[in-house]
Amino acid sequence: MRVTMIGSGYVGLVSGACFADFGHDVICVDKDAGKIEALKNGKIPIYEPGLEQLVANNVEAGRLSFTTELAPAVADADAVFIAVGTPSRRGDGHADLSYVYGAAEEIARAIQGFTVVVDKSTVPVGTGDEVERIIRQTNPDAAFAVVSNPEFLREGAAIEDFKRPDRIVIGAEDERARQVMRQIYRPLYLNKSPIVEMSRRSAELTKYAGNAFLATKITFINEMADLCEKVGGDVQDVARGIGLDNRIGPKFLHAGPGYGGSCFPKDTLALLKTSQDYDAPQRIVEAVVSVNDNRKRAMGRKIVAALGGDARDKTVAILGLTFKPNTDDMRDSPSISIIRTLQDAGATVRAYDPEGVEQARLVLDNVEYCSTPYEAMEGADCAAIVTEWDELRALDLKRMARILKQPVLVDLRNVYDRADVEMYGLSYSGIGR
Ligand code: UDX
Question: Does the annotation mark 263 as catalytic?
Answer: yes
CA–centroid distance, 257 to ligand 1, in Å, is: 12
Which ligand 1 atom is the nearest neighbour of the CA of 258?
30
Cα separation, 397 vs 292, whole angstroms: 31
Among 192, 254, 268, smallest CA distance to 412 is for 254
What domains can you pick out in the chain, each with its CATH number? 2-198 (3.40.50.720), 206-433 (3.40.50.720)
CA–centroid distance, 296 to ligand 1, in Å, is: 15
Q: How far is CA 111 from CA 102, 105, 197, in A?
A: 15, 10, 25
pLDDT digits (tens, 9 = 90+) for 245-263: 999 999 999 999 999 998 9
CA–centroid distance, 154 to ligand 1, in Å, is: 7
Q: 28, 263, 370, 382: which one is catalytic?
A: 263
Test site for ligand 1: of 149, 213, 264, most ligand atoms within 8 A of the Cβ: 264
Test site for ligand 1: of 154, 162, 208, most ligand atoms within 8 A of the Cβ: 154
pLDDT digits (tens, 9 = 90+) for 153-173: 988 899 999 999 999 999 999
What is the ipTM metric for this complex?
0.95
Considering only CA atoms, which residue is closest to atom 13 of ligand 1? 154
Cα separation, 96 vs 176, whole angstroms: 30
Please tell me the pTM assigned to this model: 0.93
CA–centroid distance, 24 to ligand 1, in Å, is: 30
Which pLDDT belongs to residue 94? 83
pLDDT averaged over consecutive 10-residue blocks of the chain (433 residues)? 96 97 98 97 92 97 98 97 89 87 98 97 94 98 98 92 96 97 95 94 97 98 98 98 98 98 93 95 98 98 97 97 95 98 98 97 98 97 98 97 95 97 97 97
Considering only CA atoms, which residue is closest to atom 2 of ligand 1? 154
Q: Which residues form ligand 1's pocket by a CB distance below 6 Å?
A: 151-155, 211, 214, 218, 252-254, 256, 259-264, 323-324
Which ligand 1 atom is the nearest neighbour of the CA of 253?
33
Cα separation, 35 vs 51, whole angstroms: 15
| Exposed e or buried b per residue across 323-335, where buried means at least 16 C-beta atoms within 10 angstroms of its C-beta | bbbbbbbbbbbbb
CA–centroid distance, 259 to ligand 1, in Å, is: 7
